A = this chain, B = another copy of it.
Amino acid sequence: MRPDLSANESKIAPMNDAVVSSIKWFEDLEEGFSIEYSVPGLTNSEIIEFAAQYDPQRFHLDEHEAAKTHFGRLVASGFQTQLLCFRPFCEKVLRNAQAVGAPGIDSLKWLRPWYPGEELDVRVTVVSKRLSSKRIDRGYIGVELNAEANGTPVLAMEWVFIMLTKEGTTEK
């Protein structure tokens, strides 16, 4: 299942890995560009191990305790979902490019719990692009990340990251 995403769907196909790996500068990304990938399902142990380290709540730590809550069973920490949905985008796009950080996350929605064993289908789409008004060597790329499990939305995240411009960067 692909995330139901945008009006661009019919017009612009997701980029393949060869195209993605050629993205280096601000100039190389355009509005409507998108990439898709899947995130493998988690085991109970992976959920519990992460929660014990970062988000120790009973419905992330213990199957029996989770069954007593409205979740009904063990669910992944929303922060774990966030990180594991982000990581492939970082690996495929950011780390090969002149991306130099982000001022924050504009919106993060946990739309339903991520249960053990569910593979996530993720799409990240460029939704905005603007040059810095102060510095010619950089610009801002806005993206939306949407993750689904079995056709139902699990997570949606919007943020902006900074990329250097080819034109404004002296060390080419």
A-side residues, CB < 8 A to B, are: 53-59, 69-71, 78-79, 82-84, 86-87, 90-91, 94-95, 99-110, 113
Contacts and interface: CB of A to CB of B under 8 A. Distances in A.
Nearest to A138: B70
B86 A56 contact: no
A136 B13 CA distance: 46
Instruction: Tell me whether chain A's interface is mostly helix, strand or loop, or mixed.
Output: mixed
A53 B54 CA distance: 14
Given A54-B90, A57-B90, 9 more contacts: A54-B83, A56-B87, A56-B91, A57-B99, A58-B95, A78-B104, A103-B109, A104-B107, A105-B107
A100 to B, nearest CB: 6
